[in-house]
Amino acid sequence: MLHFDRRLLLNFDWAIILTVLVIAGMGLLNLYSATHSAEPYAAAFVRQLYFYLLGFAGIMVIISFDYRLFVTANYPLYITIILLLTIVLFFGNAVSDTQRWLNFGFFRLQPSEPAKLVLVITLASYYYRKDTGLGFTLKELVVPLLLTGLPFLLILRQPDLGTALMLIFIFISMTLFVKLKWSTLSVLIGACASMLPIGWLYLLKPYQKQRILTLFNPELDPMGSGYHILQSKIAIGSGMMFGKGFLKGTQVHLDFLPERHTDFAFSVWAEEWGFIGSLFFLACYFFLILMGLNIAVASRDKFGVLLAFGIVSLLFWQAFINLAMILGLLPVVGMPLPLFSYGGSSLLTTLAGIGILLNIRMRRFMTSTGD
């Protein structure tokens, strides 16, 4: 039997759970507003609620064992996810020309979502094991590059540009976080500069941007992404300072706003709750990120630091890219807003990440108590 230490409970981070609950509350309210007028989506609210309950149960499971178990479990997890990504390419359910879902009857799993978290665990374990403190050379980065590249290509094949890019962001964030040799860093910066969409998409002509995006992302509405972004901007902007009020958004209840309960969920929020509501949402999110980083700082174990940092960067980049896209700062790619967008796979993955953060937090004083 695993011995359960009372100190674990003392170190349980209630503030994080509370913040997650507040964001969850906002997300569910918003989902209700975005879907209540359309009949086929009426069930979305209930489903999302179930996923939250399932996710919290998952958190309980994840905090019950020592997170350092992930160092041993990382490759089995990695191989499982690669298998799932391969299976989904061949047997997945095709929705609008993309192969993303595995159908389990009651639930369609989108393996690319947990793949993000598994990549964080894998890179954290790898850097933890290999790091000598002297900094990585380019040669030593070949393995993590391959570990990232394989799921990246599989997800790109689906095709799902947004999620694939997310893997690159995770890789860059975590690799920059562990020490690199200066020479390695300069080479990587050169390579990254050409890879970062922010960089290259603005160098290209509009039609080239369009071409690249439509190439990988068939989800783009045939009416053109400019239309979506404009409608999203109108929705957000028309919320003005105080918003139109819950269920009172006009933009969202007409057909103008695409994907209004998934990727564009925040547009609905901003329209109905205005600048004040948006600020409150950002504050909650910022608080969650800060606490996540704080967990990384507080951990006394290098694996814990790497893992916590990886999970926070996963949360942050998804949120930032989603919001920047909705606000018309970045081109449209498929990217959910964690904890807020409708979608079981994304939600469960995010909650599992939160569970791991809590786990690291709970065991920060257990570094030498391996009895």
Partner 1 sequence: MKDHSTTLSSMQRTITRINKIDEAELFLLKKRIDFATYFVIFLIAILIIRLWFLQVHKGFDYGRLSENNRIRVLNIVAPRGNIMDQHGIPIITNRPCFNVIWIREDAPNPEIVIKRLSKILNEDISVLLDRIRASADNPRYMPLRLKEDIDWKTLVFIENNHFNLPGVRIEVLPTREYLHGDLASHLIGYLGEINKEELQESKGGIYQGGDQLGKMGIEKLQEQYLRGEKGRSLLEVDVHGFEQRQIELEDPLPGNDLYLTIDIELQKIAEEAMADKAGAVIAMDVNTGRILAMASSPPLNLQEFIGGISSKSWKSLLDNPLHPLTNKAIQGQYPPASIYKIISALAGLGEEIVTPQTVFYCTGSMPFGNRNYRCWKKNGHGAISLKRALAESCDVYFYQLGQKLNVDTLAKYAASFGLGQKTGIELENEKPGLIPTAAWKLKEYKEPWQEGESLSIIIGQGFDLVTPLQVCQMMTAIANGGIIYRPQLIERIVNIDDMIIKEFTPIADSRALVLPANLQVIRDALISAVNDEHGTGEQAKLEHITVAGKTGTAQVVHLSQNKDLADEEIPYKYRDHAWFSCFAPAEKPEIAVTVLIEHGSHGGSVAGPIAKKILEKYFNIPQAPPNTKQPKG
Q: Which of residues 221-240 bind partner 1 (CB under 8 A)?
A: 221-224, 226-227, 230-231, 233-240
The answer to whether residue 198 forms part of the interface with partner 1 (CB under 8 A) is no
The answer to whether residue 301 forms part of the interface with partner 1 (CB under 8 A) is yes
130-149 positions binding partner 1, by CB under 8 A: 131, 133
Q: At 336, phi and psi to the nearest 5?
A: -80, 160
Q: At 103, is the secondary structure helix, strand, or coil?
A: strand
The answer to whether residue 318 forms part of the interface with partner 1 (CB under 8 A) is no
Q: At 95, is the secondary structure helix, strand, or coil?
A: strand
The answer to whether residue 282 forms part of the interface with partner 1 (CB under 8 A) is yes
- CB of residue 50 vs partner 1: minimum separation in angstroms? 31
- CB of residue 312 vs partner 1: minimum separation in angstroms? 8
The answer to whether residue 289 forms part of the interface with partner 1 (CB under 8 A) is yes
CA distance 304 to 32: 37
Is 15:310 a contact under the CB 8 Å cutoff? no
Q: Which is nearer to partner 1, 83 or 223 (CB)?
A: 223
Extended strands (E) in the chain: 93-95, 98-103, 108-109
Beta bridge partners of 102: 109
328-367 positions binding partner 1, by CB under 8 A: 328-329, 367
The answer to whether residue 320 forms part of the interface with partner 1 (CB under 8 A) is yes
Name the DSSP letter for residue 140.
G
Which range of residues in 50-58, 65-73, 79-87, 332-340 is near partner 1 by CB under 8 A? 65-73
The answer to whether residue 11 forms part of the interface with partner 1 (CB under 8 A) is no
Q: At 110, phi and psi to the nearest 5?
A: -110, 95
Q: Which is nearer to partner 1, 91 or 242 (CB)?
A: 242
Binding string, residues 79-108; x marks residues near partner 1 by CB under 8 A: ------------------x-----------
Q: Which is nearer to partner 1, 80 or 210 (CB)?
A: 210
What amino acid is encoded at 354 in this protein?
A: I
- CB of residue 308 vs partner 1: minimum separation in angstroms? 9
The answer to whether residue 78 forms part of the interface with partner 1 (CB under 8 A) is no
CA distance 213 to 160: 10
Query: Tokens 């257990």 map to which residue?
Result: 366
- Looking from the CA of 31 toward its CB, the CA atoms found within 13 Å total 23
Per-residue tokens: 272: 């109905």
